[in-house]
Amino acid sequence: MSKATAKIREEARELFLTRQLNTNAEIAARLRLKPHTVGVWRKQEDWDGLRLKVSKHEADRMARRFASDRVNLNVVHYRYWDLLLSNLGDLLKTRKDLSIKDLDCVAGILESAQKGQRLAKGMHIAGETEEIIRAEAQAELRHAINLVREAIKENVTDEETRERIGRAILAAIPAEPGAGTAGPEDPDAD
């Protein structure tokens, strides 16, 4: 392969992997090639697999960044509410003549501070932890998977096709944290 061809092939791969262009025809038109040539290159180098890996890597990196930002923001919020409560405590120590209106205002501040601290700790305002919320969401996901599997059982007569569909669905669903590499359900549990 000549250097010119290698450079064009690399440019075609880059256009596809960066999602600037999505089809063989679009890439071929841009680089003045035949769509078949782009298709051969795409298949030989598994551009679709590379694109998926790049997408997963970017999604993981973004999720880690969001999680880190969220933790940092929660620490700042928690400190803010802690400082607010400390200042409120100091103010209440110095004031002896509080009216009912003042006490009502203090109660509102305490309630807001408590909610703010719960949220900053990753807890739901009603006291549910993030883990409980995540577990409930996972249970709903398992229920939805079971409904889909039951619909497939009822409507797809070929057992091999049913199994392929079940495996494809389970492969598309992320595994539960700490549950190993398998999805939320065993595909052979029918």
Confidence of residue 188 (pLDDT cuts 50, 70, 90): very low
Average pLDDT, the chain: 79
In tens, the pLDDT along 91-115 reads 888 887 878 888 888 888 888 887 7
Residue with tokens 């596809």: 16
Domain boundary among 127, 143, 169: 127
In this structure, the answer to whether residues 139 and 181 fall within a common structural domain is yes
Asked if residue 7 belongs to a domain, the reply is yes
Asked if residue 13 belongs to a domain, the reply is yes
Which domain does 188 fall in, by range?
129-190
In this structure, the answer to whether residues 143 and 162 fall within a common structural domain is yes
Asked if residue 56 belongs to a domain, the reply is no
* pTM over 0.85, yes/no: no
List the beta bridge partners of residue 123. Answer: 129
Domain total in the chain? 3
pLDDT of residue 8: 92
Asked if residue 143 belongs to a domain, the reply is yes
Summarize the confidence of residues 153-177 as an average pLDDT: 78
Quote the tokens at residue 113: 């501070």
In this structure, the answer to whether residues 112 and 169 fall within a common structural domain is no
pLDDT of residue 27: 92
Angle at 137 between CA 136 and CA 138, to 5 degrees: 90
CA distance 150 to 173: 17
In tens, the pLDDT along 38-64 reads 999 999 999 888 888 877 888 778 778
Asked if residue 59 belongs to a domain, the reply is no
CA distance 34 to 158: 40
In this structure, the answer to whether residues 118 and 158 fall within a common structural domain is no
In this structure, the answer to whether residues 133 and 145 fall within a common structural domain is yes
Confidence of residue 182 (pLDDT cuts 50, 70, 90): very low
Q: Are 120 and 74 a contacting pair, CB within 8 Å?
A: yes
Closest CA to 172 of 159, 161, 185: 185
In tens, the pLDDT along 136-147 reads 888 887 888 788
In this structure, the answer to whether residues 139 and 170 fall within a common structural domain is yes
In tens, the pLDDT along 65-94 reads 877 877 777 788 778 888 888 888 888 888
Asked if residue 15 belongs to a domain, the reply is yes
Q: Are 122 and 147 a contacting pair, CB within 8 Å?
A: no
Decide which of 185 and 95 is more confident.
95
pLDDT of residue 123: 65
In this structure, the answer to whether residues 15 and 38 fall within a common structural domain is yes
* Secondary structure of residue 22 in the 3-state scheme: coil
Residue 123 phi/psi, 5-degree rounding, is -105, 150
- Name the DSSP class of 182: S
